[in-house]
Amino acid sequence: MTVDHTTSAPGPARWKAFLQNAHLIGFIKFVLPLALIPAIFAALYLTEPYQQFLVLSGLLIAYFVPPAGKETIIPIAILMGYPWWLIMLVIFLLDVAVSLFVVWNFDLALKIPFIGRLLESGMAVARNYTESQPWLRRLSTVGLILFVFFPLQGTGAMNGSILGRLLGLDKSRVFGCVCIGSFASSLVIALGADVLIDIYQKDPALGIGLLVLIVVIILAGVVGWRMRDRKLRGRVPR
């Protein structure tokens, strides 16, 4: 008995052709990150009471509007009674979606009117950082993680992904660095805010004192960062 080889492996061949279709893969890479964001909101809608879902959705939308960031949205959500782990996870997943979109679709996204302007502004910020903070280029991977980790104005998942591109890192490394930086930053802020709120509820004076100390440390760090930035810019030949 002979075996009909013409029908023995149509499935693998079909899948191979499917995975090699550049237009289809490009479409998936464009749509998948964008689909993650409504999927996150849908999951919250199904798991949270409707009023809490509306409030949390408003906070998450505000997360995309500067100057709001992790350092403001996460503590506000925890103060409003949301579990620290929930808001941390949601913010992290939003950063994952944004980073995936930028890493996979940077050149194409530049041609989209509104998104292109956002990316161009992010490129300007990233260039300023690489010019004023040369250690970012020297450390590359670690520098990119720290760039995303510290919640300063102009940092974050989108600008971190753009910075990784300017540093010449491959896409998988950029995405990995952004994920590590975002997860660590979200975790530290969420846990810190939760602990601080718990201390304040038990001892308001101690809680306020710790909050003031944290604010002073952050402000000192920001001022020191900007002063160092100005000194480095002054040394750059014009």
Residue with the larger pLDDT of the pair 47 and 108: 47
User: Do 147 and 129 meet the contact criterion of CB atoms below 8 Å apart?
Assistant: yes
pLDDT, tens digit, for every residue of 164-188? Answer: 888 888 889 999 999 999 999 999 9
Residue 96 pLDDT exceeds 50: yes
Best mean pLDDT range from 6-15, 19-28, 54-63, 125-134: 54-63
Residue with tokens 């004192």: 209
Q: What is the chain's length?
A: 238
Whether the link from the prior residue into 67 is cis, omega within 30° of 0, is yes
Query: What is the 8-class DSSP label of residue 168?
Result: T
pTM recorded for the entire structure:
0.80
